[in-house]
Amino acid sequence: MTTVIDGKNVAASVIQMVKSATAALEKSSGVTTGLAVVIVGDDPASHAYVGSKGRMAKECGFKSVQHTLPAETSQEDLAALVATLNADPSIHGILVQLPLPKPLDSEPIIQAILPEKDVDGLSIANAGKLAIGDLKTGLVSCTPAGAMVFVRRTHGEDLSGLNAVVIGRSNLFGKPMAQLLLNANATVTIAHSRTKNLAEVCRNADILVAAVGRPEMVKADWVKPGATVIDVGINRVPAPERGEGKTRLVGDVAFAEVSEVASTITPVPGGVGPMTIAMLMANTVIAAHRAAGQTPPQF
């Protein structure tokens, strides 16, 4: 019988831990966890994301601040706002919603955020800490951190003796995911579009993580019987059965057939997705604990 991981349930349990940690920090040191979100322009999808992040922050008991800037904001003004937030001791996490409208350049803005406030885990400093296995002072990018919660809850903290394959080598997900698995003692292979005999490589995996953005690419015969399959893909495909012009979301894994083979699998939607905001909240409360000189919670 295959276990289908309920991402909403797991995310809710992480949020519950965040709420407890937030309240305990306030009680022990008088510090209210603070998250600042910066959004530039009027992209509807970005505003929807930012709205949900703000609501979740308030629900967790955070001080939640949103800076909404016009699309014509200059690079200098945006950098100046980040500098102000860096200097504000009541703000523990800074998040700049991507993508930024053109001609703004997101990279220097992301790197300008202090690493200890970089709750998206995108700075070179935090990527470097993860690469050397420093999970004590670094912050891990939210989606791989969320996927790793699933892996730990399935296999425990120590992955010694297990083979893990990550399909995808992006800086945002593939590389940090591979590092997290490696830090937990798995034997890790990073596969990608140039990998020869990809299906064969995948068949060796006890833990298979797919993050390539190709709808239902991973088929049942790619998967080792009994493997754990984490699907990070979010692809919109036509769904004529729902009516003309309608679409539906699918992952990078052909869920129906792979769930016949895998022992544990994440669905799309409802798997890794809900974990991303939950881990953002987790990173923020971790950052607040560190700033207050307290031992942060572990998720």
Domain residue ranges of the chain, discontinuous segments joined by +:
26-136+275-291, 142-274
Give the 3-state DSSP-derived string for 209-269, with helices as H, strands as E and coil as C. EECCCCCCCECHHHCCCCCEEEECCCEEEECHHHCCCCEEEECCECHHHHCCCCCEECCCC
CATH number attached to the domain at 142-274: 3.40.50.720
pLDDT digits (tens, 9 = 90+) for 76-126: 999 999 999 999 999 999 999 999 999 999 999 999 999 999 999 999 999
pLDDT digits (tens, 9 = 90+) for 117-172: 999 999 999 999 999 999 999 999 999 999 999 999 999 999 999 999 999 999 99
Domains 26-136+275-291 and 142-274 share a fold: yes
Return the active site residues: 53, 97, 120
As a dihedral over the C-alpha atoms of residue 252, residue 253, residue 254, residue 257, rounded to 10 degrees, the angle is: 180
The pLDDT tens digits of the residues spanning 209-228 come to 999 999 999 999 999 999 99
How far apart are the C-alpha atoms of 112 and 154, rounded to whole Å? 37
Q: What CATH architecture is 26-136+275-291?
A: 3-Layer(aba) Sandwich (3.40)
**Closest residue by Cα to residue 50 from 207, 277, 218, 296:** 277
Asked if residues 237 and 248 have their Cβ atoms less than 8 Å apart, the reply is: yes
Return the amino acid letter for 164. Answer: A
> Parallel, antiparallel, or unpaired for β 264-265 and 228-231?
parallel
In angstroms, the CA 21 to CA 261 distance is 39
